[in-house]
Structure 1
Amino acid sequence: MAGPSYADFVRLRRHNNPCLWALSQHLSHPACSESRIAFIDIPHAASSTPAPQPHFAKAKDCAGLTRVVPDDITRLLVIEDISSDLIIEIGEALDIDPLFFAEYIITDFQNLETQPPPPSLAILPSLMSKKPHIHLHYQQVLHLTSTDKFESCSYALKTNCNIPRNVRRLAPLAERQLALARASCSTFFKSIGSSSIGLILVDRPITYVFDALGTRRERAYPAKVMFSGFEDFEPSSSFTTFTSGETMITWDKASMFDSIMHYFCMQPPPGFSASSVEILAIAYYPIRIVLAEWNLYVHLTSRFSKHYEYSLREIGGRLHDDDIVDLQRWRRRTKQSRYKLALLDNYIDHRLGHRNDKEHWMMVRKDIEYLQQQLQDYGQSLEQMITVATSMVQLMNSRRSILEAVSVRRLTYIALIFIPLAWVSSLFSMSDGFLPGEKHFWIYFATSLPLLGLVVLLSALPYERLLRTLGISWQRLRE
């Protein structure tokens, strides 16, 4: 008889940690694509060995890779688009806290009345800093070709992966359709005797986004990462190297998986010691990659801030209620982005402790501070634009109401003229002598024009003033 599984453990834990509810539901979903797996073994005597090489593996190999690690080896296991079966298998092998998988999988939060918040919101930052894992949540900028294909497309899109990610379609810019995709990279570290293992979970590169995923109206749209990925943060090759004929190494920067493998195989992270590895050393390259993605996101925020500033200037042509909704969305995104960066900064600050090799991490923290400051400035600008845009829309609505009232007033005048003339015409239509061209036709004007004057006079009388005057006169008579 089989014993309790990791899925059973997650179901039990969700009573104490409601934020695990979505993970418990996710573990029952079958895989829709094959996970990509690779590992690097770094000997503790790495100074006398060549650069580590990546080894690719299959899902069936993960049990052996996680349960048996050779002595004096640090193994880095990188998994792209992890499946539910692998989560259960690796969770059992490494005795991983379900909160690690939950925070990587659950990146969206709709409403508190329908579901508990994800771990990143449910657990306080001070408690998250003590965990043996770090989570890097970020926004990835996507290019979805031209705007013509998205006229009837919804705002909320999704990716079709083992772990679906939310994609949000943005307002068109220069006839180009951009989007923001939520992405995550999670790192776990554990010592096993004289060895250690680091687990890095990354998302699959986005090539298609889906509208109404899983329904009859499902539609797929091609997508690609903006500008083919982030800016390389390592020292650039010199011109001398180029002229010497040495081959420049290139890789798919749209893939977090390929980027991590590239950097770890090129050289170890700053301050990396194979004999005393800890989680910050393993997470250095993922952190640098994510900060580069955040930098592009900040520039996108700046571009949309400029876009809406021009919308406010052209009040008659471009400003609509949808612009205010978009501004409010950007304001929420800015707040959430600053919170995610603050979580990362708190984790690094807690882990540094009394370490001596703080210099390169201080530079990382300065970059985080710079990104937070930029987002704060744009957030304040968006707050001001929302107030101005709301006032402008209200003024436009008031102007529209005034124009409509003027039009109604004109129609009223037409009715006042038409009704008495039509009534008199109906009276004289009973006799042929009053028809146009007959000898008694003048009687029609002699009757209708005084009646028309009387109607116009009665409509123009200030009835409220007359009633007030009559009321005062009546009070005086009674006295």
Structure 2
Amino acid sequence: MSDYRVQQQYLNDAKPRYQERCSQLAGKYPNLRNEDYKRWYPYPNPESRRVACFQFLPDGTVQDDRFNDTDSLMAFLAVEPSPSTRRLFILESFNDKIRDLVSLKLDIDPQVFHRHTRIAIWESARTNAGNTPLLPSLIDSTRSWAMLYSQLMQLNLEKQEFTLRCFGSERHIASSRYDGKLDGIGSVSRKISFSGTCRGQDGWDGALFGTHEKPEVARAIKAPQPWQGGYNDFIKYSTVQEAVDAETPPRTSTFDDLCFYHTHHCKHLQLDSDPKSATTFAQKLVASEYMLLIEYNRFLLYHIGWKLSRRNNFEIFNSVWVEQTWSDLNSFHQRIQTHHQNIVMATADLELKKSTTQGWMSTTEDFAHIEEQFLSLRQKAESLLDSFTGLAGIVGNHQSLDEARSVGLLTILGMAFVPLSLVASLFSMADEYRPGAGDFWVYFAVSVPFVALIFAMVFLFMYWRRLRRRLKWITE
């Protein structure tokens, strides 16, 4: 039988073998039985996905192999590596064939694929949920880990929508409201997962899974761009000239960026017998994206806080604005809590607190700093929520005062009609002004313009007061 037929037969056999393995593990891990109920459409299953393999050679060089179809990947994996070979596979995403193939060839736990493809940020269903993690005592970062993060994109929205989804992966895109309108910055949900398998004499295979990204990130969006140009380069250069001479990361996708750093900066990796040692660039990439998230959320919170500072009074605020901003603050607070929780989970999953790696390539200090910053932002959001609760009371009191003033105006308006009654009394004393007499029309000629004048003065006063409040809001 030819090699091609052998490969095809292996691919055909891989799917039932993978499904059989899932069925055997489902009794131990019930999550494997449950589909992702938040996925609107079936997971895309195209024929090709980009895959890269970086093989770290003993002389310090790196062999870079790229695959755009399952057959070429199958041919590569059919060759058994030596016991001391160290390889890192980077997958942009995967279809069923690639999943079945690498799961068997690299001995990847089906839970890794199952957890990676789930898009639910939090479980709202009471049944069929599937994001429950393992006990912390069972975590082994040399075997697998996953990191959730968000990528900020500048969105050119065709229409104002809070709920957006990525093409293909259907991952969530969160939008923020800024001064009553969506600010056009989308927080795109991303995930990087890892699986490692040790082999022979300090050899290993590692696999990094990213999220598939297209130029059109979501519906109703045209040509999205990374917010503020994207994350900062995380390589520590010796001199400014070295930084000037170094190539720039593409920032076009997670796959392209990881391939770039492993191609141009692989000398900085501190590889050892742990396959996780080859994932430092992925950890640095996620940490850099979180730094952007910190600055963006800090800007939103401090902008709202600035609105409340240096005020002589709060007459310019109305109840609609207060309620809308309070709702936005709740969204920011919930989002910050989610980011903070993701950082805590990533720190635990990567076992960073147990890490002994030193120097700037260590990510322990990075994630500890990010966790502290999100905790600070969370406290800031809670403080603003308390402030807006008090502001709601102040605005409510102002509205009560406005109503009291309106009642006073009605009283004045009622008092204005007392002279009219007097005029009517005076006119009724003379025979020629009595009802039915020839000069009775004089009463209407005098009283009707007088009443219209009073009403006009009251409405002009109220309009002037509202206009003054609006002008003060605009200028401040």
TM class, shorter-chain normalised? Answer: 0.7 to 0.9
Instruction: Identify the range of structure 1 (20-29 vs 364-373) with the bigger mean alpha-carbon deviation.
Output: 20-29
* Partner residue of 2:291 out of 295, 317, 329: 295
Q: 1:439 to 1:226 in 2, by over 3 A?
A: closer
Q: 1:133 to 1:272 in 2, by over 3 A?
A: same
Which position in structure 1 is the counterpart of 2:186? Answer: 179
Confirm or deny: 8 A CA contact 1:210 1:220 kept in the other structure.
yes
Following superposition, the deviation at residue 292 of structure 1 comes to 0.9
Q: 1:122 to 1:433 in 2, by over 3 A?
A: same
- Cα deviation, 1:183-234, whole Å, max 9, x if unaligned, reads 11111111344553211111234533435xxxxxxx3433111233221121
Which position in structure 2 is the counterpart of 1:252? Answer: 250
C-alpha separation in 2, matches of 1:396 and 1:33: 60
C-alpha separation in 2, matches of 1:196 and 1:305: 45
Which position in structure 2 is the counterpart of 1:37? Answer: 51
C-alpha separation in 2, matches of 1:363 and 1:236: 15
- Cα deviation, 1:33-77, whole Å, max 9, x if unaligned, reads 84222212223xx22x64433434323333344454422422221
5+ residue gaps, structure 1: 212-218, 445-479
Confirm or deny: 8 A CA contact 1:23 1:101 kept in the other structure.
no
Q: Does 1:123 align with 2:134?
A: yes
Confirm or deny: 8 A CA contact 2:175 2:182 kept in the other structure.
no
C-alpha separation in 2, matches of 1:185 and 1:293: 12
- Cα deviation, 1:99-152, whole Å, max 9, x if unaligned, reads 211222224235443455553x5433333346711112111111114xxx46x4
Matched position secondary structure for 2:177: coil
Q: Does 1:377 align with 2:376?
A: yes
Which position in structure 2 is the counterpart of 1:208? Answer: 216
Q: CA RMSD of the aligned region, Å?
A: 4.1
Q: 1:203 to 1:116 in 2, by over 3 A?
A: same
Q: 1:25 to 1:7 in 2, by over 3 A?
A: farther
The aligned amino acid for 1:233 is: F
C-alpha separation in 1, matches of 2:16 and 2:212: 31
Following superposition, the deviation at residue 403 of structure 1 comes to 3.1
Confirm or deny: 8 A CA contact 1:18 1:116 kept in the other structure.
no
Q: Does 1:87 align with 2:88?
A: no
Find runs of 4+ consecutive structure 1 residues off by over 4 angstroms: 11-16, 23-28, 114-118, 173-176, 192-195, 237-243, 350-353, 408-418, 436-444
Instruction: Identify the range of structure 1 (190-199 vs 290-299) with the bigger mean alpha-carbon deviation.
Output: 190-199
Instruction: Identify the range of structure 1 (51-60 vs 71-80) with the bigger mean alpha-carbon deviation.
Output: 51-60
Following superposition, the deviation at residue 365 of structure 1 comes to 1.3
Q: Does 1:230 align with 2:243?
A: no
C-alpha separation in 1, matches of 2:235 and 2:212: 23
The aligned amino acid for 1:380 is: Q
**Scaled by the length of structure 1, what TM-score is found?**
0.72
C-alpha separation in 1, matches of 2:276 and 2:95: 26
C-alpha separation in 1, matches of 2:406 and 2:240: 73
Q: Does 1:435 align with 2:449?
A: no
Following superposition, the deviation at residue 335 of structure 1 comes to 2.1
5+ residue gaps, structure 2: 1-11, 445-476
* Partner residue of 1:137 out of 134, 145, 148: 148
The aligned amino acid for 2:71 is: K
**Scaled by the length of structure 2, what TM-score is found?**
0.73
Which position in structure 1 is the counterpart of 2:277? Answer: 281
* Partner residue of 2:303 out of 285, 307, 318: 307
Following superposition, the deviation at residue 79 of structure 1 comes to 1.0
Q: 1:333 to 1:392 in 2, by over 3 A?
A: same
Confirm or deny: 8 A CA contact 2:67 2:73 kept in the other structure.
no
- Cα deviation, 1:339-369, whole Å, max 9, x if unaligned, reads 222223234447957xxx6323894212211
Q: 1:417 to 1:240 in 2, by over 3 A?
A: closer
Q: Does 1:272 align with 2:286?
A: no
Matched position secondary structure for 1:272: coil
C-alpha separation in 1, matches of 2:243 and 2:387: 53
C-alpha separation in 1, matches of 2:367 and 2:352: 15
Q: Which has the larger radius of gyration?
A: 1
Confirm or deny: 8 A CA contact 1:10 1:24 kept in the other structure.
no
C-alpha separation in 2, matches of 1:236 and 1:436: 103
Confirm or deny: 8 A CA contact 2:142 2:275 kept in the other structure.
no
The aligned amino acid for 2:230 is: G
Following superposition, the deviation at residue 406 of structure 1 comes to 5.3
Q: Does 1:329 align with 2:331?
A: yes
C-alpha separation in 1, matches of 2:342 and 2:113: 17
